């Protein structure tokens, strides 16, 4: 377990080399660049102008990235490309992104055209939808040609054409018009399958009142023809709508063909997106530098193990002045964890909580990884489930080749799956009691230790014993931390006595009488020596406050009973699934139901049990383990490097 030692870096270079240097540093990926405050008045104006320039360029790149990201998804849908469950970056040659940068204008022109076609297609489809609705509404009445009022008629009369639901509604409407208007005329134009078409005529001065009466009686105007010139010719309006739909379909087909032709540039869009990603990172880093007319100053951190080789490489390529020094005590040093291949996956758990505080916390990853794997294995504790978990994660790691935090988590679950298989052998669990159920009790999966279902009290005791060891691990790291930070007195008299107290109390529960002396010695050390007060009364009262912490330890130990709960839960659900699967029998069609129930039931139990084990194991680390020694608050080491979303750069593309 280790936190990588850092060197503080100060670099002065020529302004003309700035961009090339940043690109080179991005290739190396080992320099964490810090922001340099431009606090002198004579530099502020220039700094503000430079910041504005960088900001404008970054906004341009990010705007283009947003467009490209949308078009990559759109192009994939157009080409009906299969979307993988887990995204894996495409391998490209080293110069692919630079080539995309050189072709930026052409690629963005095609992207803009594809965006226009996408938007235009949406508008055309909206237009098509409106016309289809109009044509559908005209379908029943498309053979009608409605009369119109001449100029003399339109000055004195108002005419309405529409439909009423049925004959009964027609009679009600007539009665309402008779009672509400001085004069009106209504005539049936056509009887349809679902309604009756009518023409209604009333005086101009009673137009509003007449319309209101009609609407109150479920009158619906004839659909809009889409053309004022065709207001009364429903047949011609229907024919025109049909012709318009054919034209729109042809236009949509042309749009689709052109869009497909542009969608084949999806890989170019991906390369240009990642090119912008790289250039944005370089611009963000450039904005942190202190720039003058002819030179620039860069400050940051580099891992001590890489510092000398990096300096020699940069000296061979650029004219620079470089200073490396050890960070000071007050420096906010970025944190980079370094562990072996087995322990490295557990760094994701530490990073999710908080990185170690530099010069204060030790790297807890190695010790935590041991307890994490053991507690996860105890909770899942089944050979079948552990085997499935390891196989699935192994496929994702070595076949699918997932990356980033997903890679770490898959490696972590691969290991915890193996540990779960180990405890499954000890507890005699293979998909619960699947072998016993299937064989009708003739064959049992071997139990090398004990079955938690048969002896839950024993499982609870061992869960608490594991909790004691886990807490002791945290206390041990606390002692190591205090000795390292020059707090030996606190380590000896504030932390170490708790080992005596907890062991003594535990042995007393087993009936060992002399164990009380261990607990008393530990309590006395805390009571009289844990505080450094010169006044003995204050020291004793302070020690009493320290002894009150025993309640916290008991509370922590009770938290480990969740190991028992989850182990039993996994086993019980597995047993229920096995019992349900055996109900239809394993002969004939019953065998099909047997397989379905077994597959679905155990898949769900694995998912739920593994998730529960992950959540509760992580909680035990964060609360019970880290709570004993860990301060946290470290800052992530974030070097300037190539961070791509769609492509993975290699020296030469491989199949």
Structural domain count, the chain? 3
Mean of pLDDT over the chain: 88
Residue 309 in any domain: the answer is yes
| CA–CA separation, 645 and 62 (whole Å) | 13
| CA–CA separation, 490 and 32 (whole Å) | 36
- In this predicted structure, what is the pLDDT of residue 224? 61
Tell me which residue of 123, 111, 74 sits closest to 262, measured CA to CA: 111
Tell me which residue of 573, 564, 562 sits closest to 606, measured CA to CA: 573
| CA–CA separation, 417 and 373 (whole Å) | 9
- In this predicted structure, what is the pLDDT of residue 273? 96
Residue 233 in any domain: the answer is no
- In this predicted structure, what is the pLDDT of residue 169? 87
Residues 498 and 583 in one domain: yes
Q: What is the CATH number of the domain that holds 182?
A: 3.30.70.2750
CB burial class (10 A; 0-12, 13-18, 19+) of residue 22?
Answer: buried
- In this predicted structure, what is the pLDDT of residue 654? 41
Residues 485 and 563 in one domain: yes
Residue 654 in any domain: the answer is no
- In this predicted structure, what is the pLDDT of residue 552? 82
Residues 476 and 581 in one domain: yes
CA angle centred on 138, ends 136 and 141, rounded to 5°: 135
8-state DSSP, 493: I
> Is residue 535 pLDDT above 70, yes or no?
no
> Which helix (H) or strand (E) is 295 found in, with range?
strand 295-303
DSSP code string of 376-398: HHHHH--HHHHHHHHHHHHHIII
280 Cβ neighbours under 8 A, 6+ residues apart = 58, 61, 62, 65
Residue 239 in any domain: the answer is no
8-state DSSP, 629: T
CB burial class (10 A; 0-12, 13-18, 19+) of residue 96?
Answer: buried
Write out pLDDT tens, residues 434-490. Answer: 999 998 888 999 999 999 999 999 999 999 999 999 999 999 999 999 999 899 988
Residue 637 in any domain: the answer is no
Write down the residue that tokens 């860069």 correspond to: 298
- In this predicted structure, what is the pLDDT of residue 550? 79
For residue 153, give its domain range: 147-221
| CA–CA separation, 12 and 132 (whole Å) | 69
Reported as a pLDDT band with limits 50, 70 and 90, residue 94 is confident
Token pair in block for residue 192? 């349809």
Residues 72 and 187 in one domain: no
Q: What percent of the chain has pLDDT over 90?
A: 58
Residue 470 in any domain: the answer is yes
Between strands 290-291 and 196-203, the pairing is: unpaired
- Write down which residue in 198, 221, 244 finishes a domain: 221
Least confident of 49-58, 280-289, 564-573: 49-58
> Is residue 653 pLDDT above 50, yes or no?
no
> Is residue 108 pLDDT above 60, yes or no?
yes
Residues 322 and 371 in one domain: no
Residues 497 and 579 in one domain: yes
| CA–CA separation, 67 and 97 (whole Å) | 18
**Neighbour-count burial for 595-623, b at 16+ CB within 10 Å, e otherwise:** eebbeebbeebbeebbebbbebbbebbbe
CB 530 within 8 A of CB 546: yes
> Is residue 248 pLDDT above 80, yes or no?
yes
Residues 373 and 327 in one domain: no
Number of other CB atoms surrounding residue 26 within 10 Å: 19
Mean pLDDT within 306-312: 94
Q: Which range, 110-119, 203-212, 583-592, is most confident?
A: 110-119
Residues 458 and 374 in one domain: yes
Residues 275 and 353 in one domain: no
Query: Residue 648, SS3?
Result: strand
Reported as a pLDDT band with limits 50, 70 and 90, residue 84 is confident
Write out pLDDT tens, residues 264-295. Answer: 999 999 999 999 999 999 999 998 898 888 89
CB 456 within 8 A of CB 564: yes
Least confident of 182-191, 308-317, 495-504, 539-548: 539-548
- Write down which residue in 335, 352, 387 finishes a domain: 335
252 Cβ neighbours under 8 A, 6+ residues apart = 121, 124, 125, 128
Residue 132 in any domain: the answer is no
- Write down which residue in 221, 247, 282 finishes a domain: 221
Beta pairing partners, 158: 202
Reported as a pLDDT band with limits 50, 70 and 90, residue 12 is very high
DSSP code string of 412-452: HHHHHHHHHHHHHHHHT-BTTBHHHHHTTTS-----SS--T
Residues 414 and 496 in one domain: yes
Residues 434 and 346 in one domain: yes
Residue 302 in any domain: the answer is yes
Tell me which residue of 16, 5, 2, 35 sits closest to 640, measured CA to CA: 35
Query: Residue 319, SS3?
Result: coil
Residues 367 and 450 in one domain: yes
């Amino acid at each position: 377990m280790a936190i990588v030692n850092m060197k503080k870096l100060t670099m002065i270079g020529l302004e003309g080399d700035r961009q090339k240097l940043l690109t080179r540093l991005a290739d190396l990926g080992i320099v964490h660049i810090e922001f340099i405050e431009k606090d002198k008045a004579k530099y502020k104006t220039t700094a503000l102008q430079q910041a504005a320039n960088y900001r404008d360029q970054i906004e341009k790149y990010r705007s283009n990235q947003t467009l490209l990201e949308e078009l990559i998804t759109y192009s994939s849908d157009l080409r009906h490309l299969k979307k993988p469950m887990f995204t894996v970056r495409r391998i490209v040659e080293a110069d692919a992104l630079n080539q995309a940068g050189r072709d930026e204008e052409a690629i963005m022109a095609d992207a803009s055209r594809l965006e226009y076609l996408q938007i235009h297609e949406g508008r055309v489809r909206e237009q098509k939808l409106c016309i289809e609705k109009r044509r559908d509404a005209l379908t029943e009445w498309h053979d009608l040609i409605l009369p119109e009022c001449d100029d003399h008629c339109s000055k004195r009369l108002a005419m309405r054409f529409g439909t009423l639901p049925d004959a009964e509604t027609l009679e009600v409407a007539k009665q309402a018009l008779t009672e509400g208007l001085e004069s009106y005329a209504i005539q049936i134009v056509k009887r349809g399958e679902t309604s009756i078409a009518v023409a209604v005529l009333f005086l101009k001065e009673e137009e509003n009142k007449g319309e209101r009466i009609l609407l109150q009686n479920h009158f619906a105007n004839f659909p809009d023809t889409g053309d004022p010139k065709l207001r009364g010719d429903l047949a011609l309006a229907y024919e025109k709508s049909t012709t318009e739909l054919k034209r729109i379909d042809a236009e949509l087909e042309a749009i689709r063909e052109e869009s497909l032709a542009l969608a084949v540039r999806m890989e170019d869009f991906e390369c240009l997106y990642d090119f912008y990603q790289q250039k944005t990172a370089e611009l963000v880093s450039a904005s942190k530098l202190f720039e003058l007319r002819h030179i620039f100053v860069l400050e940051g951190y580099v891992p001590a193990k890489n510092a000398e080789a990096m300096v020699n490489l940069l000296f061979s390529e650029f004219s620079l002045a470089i200073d490396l020094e050890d960070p000071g005590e007050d420096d906010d040093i970025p944190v980079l964890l370094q562990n072996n291949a087995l322990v490295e996956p557990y760094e994701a758990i530490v990073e999710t909580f908080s990185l170690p505080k530099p010069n204060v916390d030790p790297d807890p990853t190695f010790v935590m990884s041991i307890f994490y794997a053991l507690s996860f294995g105890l909770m899942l504790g089944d050979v079948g489930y552990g085997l499935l978990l390891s196989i699935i994660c192994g496929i994702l790691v070595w076949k699918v080749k997932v990356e980033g935090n997903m890679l770490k988590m898959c490696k972590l679950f691969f290991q915890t799956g193996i540990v779960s298989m180990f405890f499954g052998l000890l507890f005699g669990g293979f998909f619960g009691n699947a072998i016993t159920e299937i064989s009708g009790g003739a064959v049992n999966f071997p139990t090398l230790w004990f079955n938690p279902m048969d002896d839950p009290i024993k499982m609870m005791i061992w869960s608490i014993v594991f909790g004691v060891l886990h807490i002791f691990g945290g206390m041990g790291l606390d002692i190591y931390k205090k000795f390292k930070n020059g707090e030996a007195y606190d380590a000896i008299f504030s932390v170490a006595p708790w080992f005596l107290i907890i062991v003594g109390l535990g042995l007393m529960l087993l009936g060992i009488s002399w164990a009380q002396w261990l607990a008393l010695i530990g309590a006395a050390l805390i009571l009289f020596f844990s505080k450094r007060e010169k006044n003995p009364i204050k020291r004793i009262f302070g020690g009493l406050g320290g002894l009150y912490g025993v309640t916290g330890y008991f509370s922590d130990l009770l938290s480990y009973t969740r190991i028992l709960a989850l182990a039993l839960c996994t086993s019980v659900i597995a047993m229920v699934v096995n019992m349900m699967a055996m109900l239809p029998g394993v002969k004939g069609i019953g065998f099909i139901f047997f397989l379905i129930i077994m597959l679905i039931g155990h898949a769900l139990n694995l998912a739920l049990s593994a998730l529960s084990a992950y959540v509760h194991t992580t909680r035990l680390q964060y609360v019970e383990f880290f709570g004993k020694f860990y301060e946290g608050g470290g800052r992530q080491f974030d070097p300037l490097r190539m961070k791509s979303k769609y492509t993975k750069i290699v020296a030469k593309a491989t199949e």
